[in-house]
Structure 1
Amino acid sequence: MSIRRLGLGALLLAALHLIPIMAAAAGPPHKAEVDTRLLIGEVAQIGGGSTEAWAGLDVRLGSGWHTYWRSAGDAGAPPDFDWSGSRNVADVTIEWPAPRRFTEQDIDTFGYDEHVLFPLRVRLQDKTAPAHLALKAVLFVCSVICTQQEAQLAADIPASTRQPNDQAQIDAWRHLVPRETSPGLSITALRLDRQAKPQLLLDVQASPLLVAPDVFIDGHDAISGGRVRVNRRSDGGLRFTVPVLGLDQAGPIDRLRVTLVDGDRSIEATLPVSAADTAPATAPATAMPHAAAASIWTILGIALLGGFILNFMPCVFPVLSLKLVSLVDHAPDRSASPRSAFLATAAGIIASFVTLAVVLSAMKAAGAQVGWGLQFQQPVFLVAMIIV
């Protein structure tokens, strides 16, 4: 009877885990509000007989949601664009409007909230023929939770430039893309200081004065800029000191891009980086396979240690002690061997987690916004767990 009650309790807990997950997947608080569309602008002749067109990926986000810049920062991921389904398109260049910094519990990320339009410079293969622009965009958006949104978009680019287009909207966002020059804003000195910790030193002249400046650093997926410190120089300019995070993990790189943003004003500069600036103490190339194998064994050892420690948690250890007591009190002459019960317990644990994985995978494949741990953000689930 006690085994049956334990089984029913396990089923109840599994149900309590799944019900709020399904509610989270369908409920408005956790559904990402993302609307994307492709805008088509003008078609123009450029030097060398080539033809280019302007387009824009327009992204509108619900209140409280944000997406990421080309460098996401401490978390998140930049957008991913796939143009492979396009026709009569030689290449597409993405322009990135100036980002803003989002800070949550000492975690800094860089991106956009509410509305952003990415200007797209489209170079055509045949200037006399229309083109078809097809985009598979993967956007990572965050609010209380983070989700991955995939959009399949397509638009036709006409051969004629006289048709109505969305160039005015595209141009408005192009003005927010940082350039190497900006009226009233200039970078007078830029260098990388590699003493105790890598930091970027940036001297700036601004007229009118900067109001709420911020500096962003990118050039490698592992690199980002920390929070800026600003000091006034004797010549009236400003000295920005920015920690460079992840430089030692990036390996050899050629340059860093530095973006200064102050409201609607922005400017971008490129800093060449020598091998001495980024050379951490690394093993030679011939030793990498052995190092990779050693790291895998390290990961497996830490995972095993974590599982061992888990057995001493208050939610697990009492259950183990009860099982051991029942094993000690086992009388072979009066009851069956406990081996089958232990095997059934192990099989039940594995089957429960496989079932959870299958259900979650099926829900994500169907387009639901779901992830493990969302149930702990649901008051109904927490109340049910307290009752249990």
Structure 2
Amino acid sequence: MKSVSALLSCSLVLAFAGAAPAFASSSDWHAGQGGRIRLVTAGGADASGRMQGALEIALDPGWKTYWRDPGDSGVPPQIDISPSTNIQSISLAFPAPRHHDDGYGVWAGYDHSVSIPVTFTLAKPAAKALVEADVFLGICETICIPVQARLTVDPAKAPDNAADAELVKAAFAALPAPERADFKIKVLRGDHETLHVEAIAPGDPASVDFFVAGEKEYMFGPPKRREKDGEITFSVQILDRPTTAPGEGGLHYTLTSSEGAVAGLIPYP
């Protein structure tokens, strides 16, 4: 995609139009060029204060949107919940993407409508919560358009909305499964500039693909695939990295094949 930084100057013209909030278990749709978005919740929080939801991205035919790591010129879905009431934090999970080559570069994303699972954590589980979320993402046809919208949801207005609950349930069910012995990534010896992994996956070997998300100052190039003597490996150029590798956690990865997808964490290289 053409660099988003070159397009931000026109974001106010091309962003989704604002709309009045819909106080229900879902927000109003915010529509614009290429598609529309809304936030959906599945009702109230559990005893620990967690509340499930989904960012629904309905794309027009021919349009695409980004995975959690869009490469060096894209805009991944981001949700700022700081204007909200009684929402302490938020986490997003991502269904398995595909690699796309648009002539400007290779990037990971979706060429179909997609629901991004969201978990809200309430500061006070028993207290009322109001979601007021500033959403920012990119959708693309021949160029990428930065999208901005304020989405408002009052989960208590319709906590038993069966359609919303089913949409959220389906969004979480579509996530990659946890890695397992016959479907995972094995990190190989690499160097300061390249991440090397071996893919262990069932199904058609030709269908196997690997995605790694840069964070904590890491940035990666597109994976380069190699298959030899029954082994599938990927080499990923490390374009940028922190001075010192973080001590805890790891990098999110997704591995796909004709048999589905798994996701997990790999150590910081």
Match of 2:60 in 1: 62
Aligned positions of 1:302-321 closer than 5 A: none
Instruction: Choose which of 238, 241, 247 in structure 1 pairs with 2:234.
Output: 241
Supply the AA of the counterpart residue of 2:237.
V
Supply the AA of the counterpart residue of 1:204.
I
CA distance in 2, matches of 1:160, 1:128: 17
Instruction: Choose which of 137, 148, 160 in structure 2 pairs with 1:139.
Output: 137
Aligned positions of 1:89-128 closer than 5 A: 89-105=87-103, 107-128=105-126
Match of 1:215 in 2: 210
State which structure, 1 or 2, has the greater radius of gyration over its C-alpha atoms: 1
- Structure with bigger strand share is 2
Q: Indicate how the Cα distance of structure 1 residues 190 and 38 shifts in structure 2: closer, same or farther if over 3 A, else same.
A: same
- Structure with bigger helix share is 1
CA distance in 2, matches of 1:188, 1:259: 9
Supply the AA of the counterpart residue of 1:181.
E
Instruction: Choose which of 253, 258, 265 in structure 2 pairs with 1:258.
Output: 253
CA distance in 1, matches of 2:199, 2:111: 29
CA distance in 2, matches of 1:57, 1:51: 19
Paired residues of 1:66 and 1:142 also in contact (CA < 8 A): yes
Aligned positions of 1:170-319 closer than 5 A: 170-181=168-179, 185-187=182-184, 189-194=186-191, 198-206=194-202, 208-210=203-205, 212-220=207-215, 222-231=218-227, 233=229, 238-247=231-240, 249-254=241-246, 255-262=250-257, 265-273=260-268
CA distance in 2, matches of 1:149, 1:218: 21
Q: Indicate how the Cα distance of structure 1 residues 202 and 222 shifts in structure 2: closer, same or farther if over 3 A, else same.
A: same
The normalised TM-score by structure 1 is 0.54
Q: Indicate how the Cα distance of structure 1 residues 80 and 163 shifts in structure 2: closer, same or farther if over 3 A, else same.
A: closer
Residue ranges of structure 1 left out of the alignment (5+ in a row): 1-20, 26-30, 278-388
| Count of aligned pairs between the two proteins | 237
1:117 is displaced (CA, Å) by: 0.8
SS in 2 for 1:43: coil
SS in 1 for 2:166: helix
CA distance in 1, matches of 2:166, 2:33: 28
Q: Indicate how the Cα distance of structure 1 residues 53 and 214 shifts in structure 2: closer, same or farther if over 3 A, else same.
A: same
SS in 2 for 1:73: coil
Q: Indicate how the Cα distance of structure 1 residues 34 and 72 shifts in structure 2: closer, same or farther if over 3 A, else same.
A: same
SS in 2 for 1:105: coil
What is the RMSD computed on CA atoms of the aligned residues?
3.0
Paired residues of 1:65 and 1:113 also in contact (CA < 8 A): yes
Paired residues of 1:33 and 1:62 also in contact (CA < 8 A): yes
Residue ranges of structure 2 left out of the alignment (5+ in a row): 1-9, 15-31
Match of 1:41 in 2: 42
The normalised TM-score by structure 2 is 0.75
1:44 is displaced (CA, Å) by: 4.8
